[in-house]
Amino acid sequence: KDFRNNVKPNWCPGCGDFSVQAAIQRAAANVGIEPHELAVISGIGCSGRISGYINSYGFHGIHGRALPIAQGLKMANRNLNVIASGGDGDGFAIGMGHTIHGLRRNLDLTYIIMDNQIYGLTKGQTSPRSAAGFVTKSTPGGAIEPDVKPLELALSTGATFVAQGFSTDIKELTAIIEAGIQHKGFSFINVFSPCVTYNKVNTYDWFKENLTKLSDIEGYDPTNREAAMNTVMQHDGLVTGIIYHDTETPCYQSKADRFDEQALVGQELMMGETKFNELVKEFM
Ligand code: SF4
Protein backbone atom coordinates (compact mmCIF):
# COMPACT_ATOMS: atom_id res chain seq x y z
CA LYS A 1 0.00 0.00 0.00
CA ASP A 2 2.15 2.79 -1.24
CA PHE A 3 0.34 6.11 -1.47
CA ARG A 4 3.38 7.88 -2.93
CA ASN A 5 3.44 8.64 -6.64
CA ASN A 6 6.22 9.94 -8.83
CA VAL A 7 4.97 13.54 -9.07
CA LYS A 8 7.37 16.01 -7.48
CA PRO A 9 5.50 18.67 -5.48
CA ASN A 10 6.24 22.22 -6.54
CA TRP A 11 5.77 23.69 -3.08
CA CYS A 12 8.53 25.98 -1.77
CA PRO A 13 11.26 24.16 0.17
CA GLY A 14 10.18 24.06 3.82
CA CYS A 15 6.46 24.53 3.13
CA GLY A 16 4.32 22.84 5.77
CA ASP A 17 2.25 21.13 3.10
CA PHE A 18 4.96 18.49 2.52
CA SER A 19 4.34 17.07 5.97
CA VAL A 20 0.58 17.10 5.53
CA GLN A 21 1.03 15.10 2.34
CA ALA A 22 3.28 12.61 4.15
CA ALA A 23 0.85 12.30 7.06
CA ILE A 24 -2.08 11.56 4.73
CA GLN A 25 -0.03 8.92 2.92
CA ARG A 26 1.04 7.27 6.18
CA ALA A 27 -2.42 7.43 7.72
CA ALA A 28 -4.04 5.85 4.66
CA ALA A 29 -1.48 3.04 4.72
CA ASN A 30 -1.87 2.54 8.47
CA VAL A 31 -5.66 2.13 8.33
CA GLY A 32 -5.16 -0.62 5.78
CA ILE A 33 -6.92 0.77 2.74
CA GLU A 34 -5.66 0.38 -0.83
CA PRO A 35 -4.92 3.32 -3.15
CA HIS A 36 -8.00 2.50 -5.25
CA GLU A 37 -10.15 2.82 -2.14
CA LEU A 38 -9.15 6.45 -1.50
CA ALA A 39 -10.09 9.67 -3.29
CA VAL A 40 -8.47 13.01 -2.45
CA ILE A 41 -10.45 16.06 -3.58
CA SER A 42 -8.86 19.48 -3.32
CA GLY A 43 -9.69 23.12 -3.89
CA ILE A 44 -7.48 25.90 -5.22
CA GLY A 45 -4.36 27.28 -3.59
CA CYS A 46 -0.86 25.95 -2.97
CA SER A 47 -2.38 23.23 -0.80
CA GLY A 48 -4.91 22.39 -3.52
CA ARG A 49 -2.15 20.68 -5.46
CA ILE A 50 -2.10 17.87 -2.93
CA SER A 51 -4.62 15.75 -4.81
CA GLY A 52 -2.04 15.27 -7.55
CA TYR A 53 0.69 14.18 -5.15
CA ILE A 54 -0.98 11.14 -3.63
CA ASN A 55 -1.31 7.76 -5.26
CA SER A 56 -5.10 7.53 -5.12
CA TYR A 57 -8.06 8.81 -7.06
CA GLY A 58 -7.85 12.59 -7.09
CA PHE A 59 -9.71 15.63 -8.29
CA HIS A 60 -8.34 19.17 -8.24
CA GLY A 61 -11.57 21.13 -8.13
CA ILE A 62 -12.40 24.79 -8.17
CA HIS A 63 -11.88 27.42 -5.51
CA GLY A 64 -13.82 26.73 -2.34
CA ARG A 65 -15.66 23.76 -3.85
CA ALA A 66 -13.69 20.77 -2.63
CA LEU A 67 -16.48 19.85 -0.22
CA PRO A 68 -19.42 19.79 -2.67
CA ILE A 69 -17.39 17.59 -5.00
CA ALA A 70 -16.24 15.33 -2.16
CA GLN A 71 -19.76 15.03 -0.75
CA GLY A 72 -21.22 14.20 -4.15
CA LEU A 73 -18.56 11.56 -4.65
CA LYS A 74 -19.19 10.00 -1.26
CA MET A 75 -22.93 9.93 -1.85
CA ALA A 76 -22.44 8.24 -5.20
CA ASN A 77 -19.89 5.74 -3.93
CA ARG A 78 -19.97 5.15 -0.21
CA ASN A 79 -17.31 2.47 -0.57
CA LEU A 80 -14.63 5.07 -1.23
CA ASN A 81 -12.72 6.74 1.57
CA VAL A 82 -12.95 10.42 0.69
CA ILE A 83 -10.56 13.12 1.88
CA ALA A 84 -11.30 16.73 0.98
CA SER A 85 -8.51 19.23 1.45
CA GLY A 86 -7.65 22.84 0.81
CA GLY A 87 -6.28 25.97 2.37
CA ASP A 88 -7.79 28.33 4.90
CA GLY A 89 -8.75 30.79 2.17
CA ASP A 90 -10.45 27.97 0.29
CA GLY A 91 -12.41 26.69 3.28
CA PHE A 92 -13.07 29.83 5.31
CA ALA A 93 -13.59 32.49 2.62
CA ILE A 94 -15.12 31.44 -0.70
CA GLY A 95 -15.95 27.97 0.61
CA MET A 96 -17.21 28.95 4.05
CA GLY A 97 -20.83 28.12 3.27
CA HIS A 98 -19.85 24.60 2.22
CA THR A 99 -17.71 24.19 5.33
CA ILE A 100 -20.55 25.11 7.68
CA HIS A 101 -23.05 22.84 5.94
CA GLY A 102 -20.49 20.03 5.71
CA LEU A 103 -19.96 20.29 9.45
CA ARG A 104 -23.65 20.09 10.30
CA ARG A 105 -24.48 17.51 7.61
CA ASN A 106 -22.07 14.91 9.00
CA LEU A 107 -21.43 12.98 5.82
CA ASP A 108 -18.79 10.31 6.29
CA LEU A 109 -15.63 11.96 4.94
CA THR A 110 -12.50 13.70 6.17
CA TYR A 111 -11.84 17.39 5.61
CA ILE A 112 -8.27 18.58 6.08
CA ILE A 113 -7.61 22.32 6.09
CA MET A 114 -4.00 23.29 5.48
CA ASP A 115 -4.05 26.47 7.49
CA ASN A 116 -1.16 28.87 6.78
CA GLN A 117 -3.05 32.04 7.70
CA ILE A 118 -2.28 33.73 4.39
CA TYR A 119 -2.92 33.41 0.65
CA GLY A 120 0.31 31.82 -0.60
CA LEU A 121 -0.48 30.99 -4.24
CA THR A 122 -1.37 34.62 -5.03
CA LYS A 123 1.79 35.82 -3.27
CA GLY A 124 0.84 36.81 0.22
CA GLN A 125 -2.48 38.49 0.92
CA THR A 126 -4.43 38.50 4.19
CA SER A 127 -6.71 35.46 4.55
CA PRO A 128 -9.70 34.85 6.82
CA ARG A 129 -7.29 33.16 9.22
CA SER A 130 -4.87 36.10 9.43
CA ALA A 131 -5.04 37.72 12.84
CA ALA A 132 -6.24 41.29 13.34
CA GLY A 133 -3.32 43.62 12.73
CA PHE A 134 -1.63 41.21 10.29
CA VAL A 135 0.27 43.24 7.70
CA THR A 136 0.37 42.09 4.08
CA LYS A 137 0.26 43.79 0.70
CA SER A 138 -3.56 43.64 0.86
CA THR A 139 -3.69 45.10 4.38
CA PRO A 140 -0.67 47.41 4.62
CA GLY A 141 -2.15 49.08 7.68
CA GLY A 142 -2.89 45.73 9.35
CA ALA A 143 -5.98 43.52 9.06
CA ILE A 144 -8.98 45.22 10.63
CA GLU A 145 -11.18 42.13 11.00
CA PRO A 146 -10.65 39.41 13.59
CA ASP A 147 -9.72 35.98 12.22
CA VAL A 148 -12.04 33.01 11.77
CA LYS A 149 -11.75 30.53 14.67
CA PRO A 150 -11.88 27.09 13.02
CA LEU A 151 -12.26 24.98 16.15
CA GLU A 152 -14.94 27.15 17.74
CA LEU A 153 -16.76 27.23 14.41
CA ALA A 154 -16.68 23.43 14.09
CA LEU A 155 -17.69 22.78 17.68
CA SER A 156 -20.60 25.20 17.53
CA THR A 157 -21.85 23.88 14.19
CA GLY A 158 -22.41 20.36 15.48
CA ALA A 159 -19.28 18.65 14.14
CA THR A 160 -18.80 15.11 15.37
CA PHE A 161 -15.00 14.99 14.96
CA VAL A 162 -12.85 18.06 15.50
CA ALA A 163 -9.06 17.93 15.57
CA GLN A 164 -6.08 20.13 14.98
CA GLY A 165 -2.52 19.25 14.06
CA PHE A 166 0.80 20.93 13.39
CA SER A 167 2.57 19.84 10.22
CA THR A 168 5.93 19.40 11.94
CA ASP A 169 4.50 16.86 14.34
CA ILE A 170 3.92 14.18 11.71
CA LYS A 171 3.44 11.46 14.30
CA GLU A 172 0.52 13.21 15.99
CA LEU A 173 -0.89 14.43 12.68
CA THR A 174 -0.81 10.92 11.21
CA ALA A 175 -2.65 9.55 14.24
CA ILE A 176 -5.26 12.33 13.94
CA ILE A 177 -5.84 11.63 10.25
CA GLU A 178 -6.08 7.90 10.90
CA ALA A 179 -8.77 8.55 13.52
CA GLY A 180 -10.49 10.94 11.12
CA ILE A 181 -10.61 8.37 8.32
CA GLN A 182 -11.98 5.78 10.73
CA HIS A 183 -14.59 8.12 12.24
CA LYS A 184 -18.06 7.37 10.89
CA GLY A 185 -19.06 10.93 10.06
CA PHE A 186 -17.56 14.26 9.02
CA SER A 187 -14.03 14.64 10.38
CA PHE A 188 -12.81 18.20 10.54
CA ILE A 189 -9.03 18.51 10.84
CA ASN A 190 -7.39 21.93 10.87
CA VAL A 191 -3.62 21.74 10.35
CA PHE A 192 -1.17 24.54 11.02
CA SER A 193 0.94 24.29 7.87
CA PRO A 194 3.33 27.27 7.77
CA CYS A 195 3.90 29.26 4.60
CA VAL A 196 7.63 29.90 4.86
CA THR A 197 7.68 32.30 1.93
CA TYR A 198 5.00 34.84 2.81
CA ASN A 199 3.98 34.42 6.45
CA LYS A 200 6.83 35.67 8.60
CA VAL A 201 4.69 35.83 11.75
CA ASN A 202 3.19 32.35 12.16
CA THR A 203 6.44 30.50 11.68
CA TYR A 204 7.50 27.02 12.87
CA ASP A 205 9.20 28.61 15.86
CA TRP A 206 6.12 30.69 16.66
CA PHE A 207 3.93 27.57 16.74
CA LYS A 208 6.46 25.65 18.81
CA GLU A 209 6.35 28.41 21.40
CA ASN A 210 2.59 28.82 21.44
CA LEU A 211 0.98 25.41 20.87
CA THR A 212 -0.27 23.16 23.65
CA LYS A 213 -0.82 19.44 23.07
CA LEU A 214 -4.09 18.17 24.48
CA SER A 215 -2.27 15.01 25.52
CA ASP A 216 -0.38 17.20 28.01
CA ILE A 217 -3.59 18.46 29.64
CA GLU A 218 -4.42 16.11 32.48
CA GLY A 219 -7.90 14.62 32.35
CA TYR A 220 -8.84 16.17 29.01
CA ASP A 221 -12.07 14.53 27.80
CA PRO A 222 -12.64 14.69 24.01
CA THR A 223 -16.22 13.41 24.35
CA ASN A 224 -17.41 16.56 26.16
CA ARG A 225 -18.28 19.30 23.67
CA GLU A 226 -18.64 22.03 26.28
CA ALA A 227 -15.30 21.20 27.90
CA ALA A 228 -13.72 21.07 24.46
CA MET A 229 -15.02 24.55 23.67
CA ASN A 230 -13.78 25.90 26.99
CA THR A 231 -10.30 24.44 26.47
CA VAL A 232 -10.10 25.78 22.92
CA MET A 233 -11.12 29.27 24.06
CA GLN A 234 -8.74 29.25 27.02
CA HIS A 235 -5.85 28.52 24.65
CA ASP A 236 -7.03 30.88 21.91
CA GLY A 237 -7.34 27.90 19.54
CA LEU A 238 -3.66 27.01 19.85
CA VAL A 239 -4.06 23.35 20.79
CA THR A 240 -3.30 20.15 18.91
CA GLY A 241 -4.83 16.71 19.16
CA ILE A 242 -8.33 15.28 18.92
CA ILE A 243 -10.43 18.03 20.43
CA TYR A 244 -13.88 16.48 20.17
CA HIS A 245 -15.05 13.02 19.13
CA ASP A 246 -18.70 12.00 19.12
CA THR A 247 -19.12 8.33 18.24
CA GLU A 248 -22.87 8.23 18.92
CA THR A 249 -24.43 10.56 16.37
CA PRO A 250 -25.20 8.65 13.15
CA CYS A 251 -23.66 9.96 9.95
CA TYR A 252 -25.72 11.31 7.05
CA GLN A 253 -25.56 8.13 4.99
CA SER A 254 -26.84 5.91 7.74
CA LYS A 255 -29.93 8.12 8.04
CA ALA A 256 -30.67 8.18 4.31
CA ASP A 257 -32.30 4.93 3.11
CA ARG A 258 -30.72 4.43 -0.26
CA PHE A 259 -27.09 4.81 0.77
CA ASP A 260 -26.74 1.93 3.16
CA GLU A 261 -28.33 -0.59 0.84
CA GLN A 262 -26.21 -0.06 -2.22
CA ALA A 263 -23.86 2.66 -3.40
CA LEU A 264 -25.44 4.74 -6.17
CA VAL A 265 -22.68 3.73 -8.57
CA GLY A 266 -23.70 0.11 -8.02
CA GLN A 267 -27.42 0.66 -8.56
CA GLU A 268 -29.21 0.00 -11.78
CA LEU A 269 -30.23 3.34 -13.29
CA MET A 270 -33.94 3.16 -14.11
CA MET A 271 -36.13 5.33 -16.34
CA GLY A 272 -39.54 4.41 -14.99
CA GLU A 273 -39.73 0.60 -15.31
CA THR A 274 -37.00 0.39 -17.93
CA LYS A 275 -33.30 -0.01 -17.32
CA PHE A 276 -31.41 3.02 -18.60
CA ASN A 277 -28.84 0.81 -20.39
CA GLU A 278 -31.65 -0.87 -22.37
CA LEU A 279 -33.06 2.52 -23.36
CA VAL A 280 -29.81 3.88 -24.74
CA LYS A 281 -29.01 0.71 -26.69
CA GLU A 282 -31.20 1.83 -29.58
CA PHE A 283 -29.09 4.97 -29.97
CA MET A 284 -25.82 3.08 -30.07
FE1 SF4 B 1 3.93 26.77 0.70
FE2 SF4 B 1 3.75 29.42 0.99
FE3 SF4 B 1 5.30 28.39 -0.90
FE4 SF4 B 1 2.66 28.24 -1.12
S5 SF4 B 1 3.90 30.12 -1.14
S6 SF4 B 1 4.13 26.57 -1.54
S7 SF4 B 1 2.03 27.94 1.01
S8 SF4 B 1 5.56 28.14 1.31
Task: Write down the pLDDT at residue 260.
Answer: 56
Beta carbon of 195 within 6 Å of any ligand 1 atom: yes
Task: Write down the pLDDT at residue 273.
Answer: 81
Judged by average pLDDT, the poorest of 190-194, 234-238, 269-273 is 269-273
Residue 268 has pLDDT above 90, yes or no: no
**pLDDT tens digits, residue range 176-215?**
999 999 999 999 999 999 999 999 999 999 999 999 999 9
Q: Helix crossing, 96-105 with 66-76: angle to 10°?
A: 30
Q: What is the ipTM of this complex?
A: 0.99
Higher model confidence: residue 259 or residue 166? 166
Beta carbon of 198 within 6 Å of any ligand 1 atom: yes
Identify whether the C-beta of residue 127 lies closer than 8 Å to the C-beta of residue 64. Answer: no
Q: From ligand 1's centre to the CA of 57, what distance in Å? A: 24
Task: Write down the pLDDT at residue 156.
Answer: 98
Pocket test for ligand 1, best of 49, 191, 198, 203 (most atoms within 8 A of CB): 198
Q: From ligand 1's centre to the CA of 120, what distance in Å? A: 5
Beta carbon of 196 within 6 Å of any ligand 1 atom: yes
Q: What is 17-281's CATH number, 3.40.50.1970, 3.30.360.10, 3.40.50.970, 3.30.1370.10?
A: 3.40.50.970
Beta carbon of 76 within 6 Å of any ligand 1 atom: no
**pLDDT tens digits, residue range 117-133?**
999 999 999 999 999 99
Identify whether the C-beta of residue 137 lies closer than 8 Å to the C-beta of residue 124. Answer: yes
Residue 243 has pLDDT above 60, yes or no: yes
| 238-244: average pLDDT | 98
**pLDDT tens digits, residue range 12-71?**
999 999 999 999 999 999 999 999 999 999 999 999 999 999 999 999 999 999 999 999
Residue 265 has pLDDT above 80, yes or no: no
**Using 50, 70 and 90 to split pLDDT, how confident is the model at 272?**
confident
**Using 50, 70 and 90 to split pLDDT, how confident is the model at 163?**
very high
Beta carbon of 88 within 6 Å of any ligand 1 atom: no
Which numbered atom of ligand 1 lies nearest the CA of 14?
8
Task: Write down the pLDDT at residue 259.
Answer: 58
Question: Residue whose CA is closest, atom 1 of ligand 1?
Answer: 15
> What is the pLDDT of the chain when averaged over all its residues?
95
DSSP the chain: ---B-SPPP-SPTT-THHHHHHHHHHHHHHTT--GGGEEEEE-SSTGGGGGGSBSSEEEE--TT-HHHHHHHHHHH-TTSEEEEEEEHHIIIIITHHHHHHHHHH--S-EEEEEE-SSBTTTTSB--TTSPTT---SS-TT---SPPP-HHHHHHHTT-SEEEEEETT-HHHHHHHHHHHHHSSS-EEEEEE---TTT-SSS-HHHHHHH-EEGGGSTT--TT-HHHHHHHHHHTTT-EEEEEEE-SSSPPHHHHSHHHHHS-GGGSPPEETTEEHHHHHHTT-
Distance of alpha carbon 205 from alpha carbon 199, whole angstroms: 12
Q: From ligand 1's centre to the CA of 146, what distance in Å? A: 23
Residue 279 has pLDDT above 90, yes or no: no
Beta carbon of 15 within 6 Å of any ligand 1 atom: yes
Beta carbon of 44 within 6 Å of any ligand 1 atom: no
**pLDDT tens digits, residue range 63-94?**
999 999 999 999 889 889 999 999 999 999 99
Task: Write down the pLDDT at residue 248.
Answer: 96
257: left (phi over 0), alpha (psi -120 to 50) or beta: alpha
Residue 237 has pLDDT above 80, yes or no: yes
Residue 262 has pLDDT above 90, yes or no: no
| 234-259: average pLDDT | 90
Beta carbon of 199 within 6 Å of any ligand 1 atom: no
User: Based on C-alpha coordinates, what's the Rg of the chain?
Assistant: 20
